[in-house]
Homo-oligomer: A and B are copies of this chain.
Amino acid sequence: MSKETLHTPYSDLIRDIGMNIKNMANDRLSELGLNAQQGQMLGFIFENQEKGVIQKDLADRFNRKGATITSMLQGLEKKGYIKRIIPEDNERQKKIYLLKKGADLVEEFNKIFTEVEKNITHGLSEAESKIFMELLIKVKATM
């Protein structure tokens, strides 16, 4: 009876490393009462609110469906991190603005994400990190 075992080392390694990254970030962010997804969203709004961020921009940037963004922003608004305002020139849209409570956290978030990022290549030399980056870019582009 041929019972050939399934071997998918690349899939497994990438999934495991991805989980590690997510867990490291969430462990540290949970002290601030938010998760990684919410933290990145506040950061993006902070960086782009002068250009006028609408919900669709967030859906595109974070690869989430419109309904998901609605639900996330309703939560962030209820907790007082953001406000949503319908602009006069287009009543279909809602522009997103960070409130003080949200802005105060952004620096802290960014510090955490930067530290997690450093941790990924922590065990690699400069040269190895460079190669790793190049290979990741190539893999993403060709698969």
Contacts and interface: CB of A to CB of B under 8 A. Distances in A.
A17 B14 contact: yes
A6 B116 CA distance: 12
Interface of A: 3-11, 13-22, 24, 40, 43, 46-47, 63, 110, 113-114, 116-117, 119-124, 128, 131-133, 135-143
A47 B1 CA distance: 11
Contacts of A4: 110
Given A6-B114, A7-B117, A21-B143, 7 more contacts: A3-B47, A8-B114, A13-B140, A15-B18, A20-B143, A123-B143, A132-B132
Instruction: Report whether over half of chain A's contact residues are helix, strand or loop; otherwise say mixed.
Output: helix
A69 to B, nearest CB: 17
A8 to B, nearest CB: 4
